Amino acid sequence: MFSDATAVDDDARFPRPLRVGIVLPTRTRGGAEVWQERLVREEATADVTVLAPHGSDALRRWQERSARTLDLRSGRRFRGAAASVVDLREYLRTSRPDVVVAHGVKAALLTLTAAAGAGARVAWVRHDDSFPRLSRIVNTLADARLLGSEGARLAGDIRAVAIQGPLPGAPLTRAAARRTLGFDEGSSGIRRAVMATRLAPYKGVDVAIRALACLPTWKLHVFGVIDHAYPQEAERLTALAEQLGVGERFVLHPARDDAWSLLGAFDAALMLTRTDAGAHLSREAFGLTAYEAVRAGVPVVAASPVAEQLGAAGILVGSEDVDAVVAALRECVRPERRRELLAAGPGVLATTVLEPDEAADRFTRLLAGTARRPGAGVRGAEPMSVVTTVLDEAEALARLLDDVVPLLGPDDELVVVDGGSRDGTFEVAQEAGRRDARVHVLRAEGAGISEGRNAGIAAAAHELIACTDVGCTPAPTWLEAFRSAASEHPEAYLFTGVYTATARNAVDDAFAACGYPDVAELHHPSAGQRLYARAFGRAFRPEMPTGRSVAFRRAAWAEVGGFPENLPTGEDVTFGMRIAARHPALLVADAAVEWEQRPSVRSTLRMYYRYGQGSADSGNTRLVVRDGLRLLAYGGGAVLATRGPLARTALAVGAVGYLGVPVRRALRRPRGVRAAALVPFATAARDVAKVAGALEGMTRQAKRGAHS
């Protein structure tokens, strides 16, 4: 009984941190890799594993941060890709990350291939405009899309989230930066240009060296990141400088993590990425170094599109136009022009680049949402009201009180609405209220579920409302998951939880496998499970909550007129869809409950019959069409069964497609083989009951329409 309820351990009430895998495509640590490092804060609560090819420079940097890392086997062509997929699949199966972040087209294709069988949510990051056709395929298959910049957005893709920047801490002053680099302050006639880039042919360092030959008072400093695809590039550039007679004025520095802080030492920064013949990359989508230079008070000379992004803070040149680069560098040191360029910098940064905390928060929010775990790692503070309705369910209410009351925070409340019980249910609720002031009891004689919920919500003290039903057992994280999601997403008004149907025997297992979504498939969906959910609709959807586990803001409840009191069933789905049509809705997988199925096959089929009636009564086209398709499918199947071998083969293939996922679900349950054998019968019985209810409801609606 509730009087024996004990408080849930505080840590157990809060959802665990996200488990995130990050897949890097190459051994080189370039701008994309640095971008990712900056988005995961040192104090981040996410559990991060970084995967990259063996010997990756980026992997070593993550190891220095004490992050978990894994080497991927790699190589050229099919064999190397296949080895990477095998390693990724093993990681997905053993570590079960909530979401995997894949950088670039190659990493995304490898990760999606591994995830198709092992099951994983995949977010991919596009940093540039390479491989546009493959990018569109990846866009379609990935669960979420991130952009390192707006310049990487595919035409028409409005759902991708751009995270530009972030920039690290404040750079050194010009004097401090020059001292750090050992520049001779006495050589005032020397001008210095800087490039911080990967040493690859298309990065334009050779163009800058050719410009240097026309600028006798300038030096070119390059902080060069070794690109393992071009191991001889440093030698080539050095030889070119010697050939042009500027070897003493071309300074190739090793890459250093603090190069961004030293840019103030220079008179100009260069970004000259170009398109080489046969290259898949056609332009630099976002020059992180360019923005770091602007913040350091250094004029930027850049090719398209970086120069356009910088606007008045940059000078546009052709990526291979040596004369234009020469002229631009001379402009950078003319006092009046320099003042113009620097004056435009703060405005450009304010409208383009995110601050570090904002960028990291946006990244984490997107990953948590992709994993269907919004608010993971966040602790909300808003008080909540939990509302439940009861009617002659004394024992079930006592169990619910035992489960829910320990989850309440000090300012939360539980509102129990009794519809006129005669078995002592009302007295159980009253006793709970006497023992705990956070439990409030209402008597609503004759009220149905919707009327009872609406009465409880109207009496509730708080703006954030959660609902559950007797017969449900909330997980320890149930209430805090809703609170955290609402805190992290103030723009959302509906928060849909999840449920698992419990079973007492093999028949219950079969009905659970064929009739309800599977929480495991929500977290780690395979390709087949995704197709099944799309085709047959048995998946958790944010706009289609059930009263077993749902939360919402009071304003949304009032806006849609509360739960529809004219619907005997399906009122929760209709309510949710009305809110979702007006405001954002989120799926909250951590807000989980276990739900007791009906005690007999007869009562289960009666429930589905009423669900069918509710679909018809709701007037929701999607629900009605789905029931109509079920009717057509069974009718078509009966016809095919009487035809020739080809027709019967088509019927068998369709049956396997329809029953394959439920059978595999049943096999995972305690009475696996027996439950799997019963799945076809449970599926057919459920479908027939639901279609019969829908037909009765539509017939009744038609008669009412004709009468009126």
pLDDT digits (tens, 9 = 90+) for 129-181: 788 889 999 999 999 999 988 878 888 887 889 898 888 889 999 999 999 99
Neighbours of 268 (CB within 10 A): 26
Joined tokens for residue 380:
């909300």
List 465's β-bridge partners, or say none: 385, 552
The residue whose two tokens read 């997980």 is 475
Q: Could you say which of 3.30.2350.10, 3.90.550.10, 3.20.20.20, 3.90.1150.10 is the CATH number of the domain covering 371-702?
A: 3.90.550.10
Q: Which residues of 120-130 are buried (b: 16+ CB within 10 A; e: fewer)?
A: bbbbbbbbbbb
Pick from 137-146, 270-279, 396-405, 507-516: least confident: 270-279
∠ CA 391-392-398 to the nearest 5 degrees? 95
Q: Decide: residue 428, CB within 10 A, 0-12 exposed, 13-18 middle, 19+ buried.
A: buried
Q: List CB contacts of 29: < 8 A, sequence separation 6 or more.
A: 56, 57, 58, 61, 225, 255
Does 3.40.50.2000 match the CATH number of domain 19-162? yes
Pick from 320-324, 531-535, 617-621: least confident: 617-621
Please give the Cα distance from 210 to 674 (Å, whole number).
77
Please give the Cα distance from 652 to 319 (Å, whole number).
61
Q: What's the topology of domain 174-352? A: Rossmann fold (3.40.50)
Quote the percentage of the chain above a pLDDT of 90.
61
Please give the Cα distance from 133 to 475 (Å, whole number).
44
pLDDT digits (tens, 9 = 90+) for 412-469: 999 999 999 999 999 999 999 999 999 999 999 988 899 999 999 999 999 999 999 9
> In Å, how far are 280, 365, 467, 479 from 384, measured between CA atoms?
53, 22, 10, 8
- Residue 167 CA, chain-centre distance (Å), reads 23
What ranges do the domains of the chain cover? 19-162, 174-352, 371-702
User: Residue 2: is its pLDDT beyond 70?
Assistant: no
Examine domains 19-162 and 174-352 and report if their fold is the same: yes
> In Å, how far are 540, 571, 606, 637 from 695, measured between CA atoms?
25, 18, 14, 19
Q: pLDDT value at position 651?
A: 83
More confident residue, 1 or 95: 95
Please give the Cα distance from 242 to 245 (Å, whole number).
5
pLDDT digits (tens, 9 = 90+) for 457-516: 999 999 999 999 999 999 999 999 999 999 999 999 999 999 999 999 999 999 999 989
Please give the Cα distance from 489 to 584 (Å, whole number).
9
Q: pLDDT value at position 7?
A: 53
Please give the Cα distance from 282 to 280 (Å, whole number).
6
Are 283 and 128 contacting, i.e. CB atoms less than 8 angstroms apart? yes
∠ CA 374-95-659 to the nearest 5 degrees? 80
Are 499 and 516 contacting, i.e. CB atoms less than 8 angstroms apart? yes
User: Residue 218: is its pLDDT beyond 60?
Assistant: yes
Please give the Cα distance from 154 to 527 (Å, whole number).
24
Neighbours of 684 (CB within 10 A): 14
pLDDT digits (tens, 9 = 90+) for 290-299: 999 999 999 9
> Tell me, what amino acid is at 407?
L
Peptide bond into 132 cis (omega under 30): no
Q: pLDDT value at position 283?
A: 58
Q: pLDDT value at position 1?
A: 36
H-helix or E-strand containing 542? none
Reported pTM: 0.87
Strand order in the sheet with 68-72: 68-72, 47-53, 19-23, 99-103, 122-126, 144-147, 161-162
Are 260 and 168 contacting, i.e. CB atoms less than 8 angstroms apart? yes
Give 3's pLDDT tier (boundaries 50, 70, 90).
Answer: very low
pLDDT digits (tens, 9 = 90+) for 619-658: 767 777 777 777 777 777 778 788 888 888 888 888 888 8
**Residue 35 φ/ψ, nearest 5 degrees:** -55, -45
Q: Decide: residue 641, CB within 10 A, 0-12 exposed, 13-18 middle, 19+ buried.
A: exposed
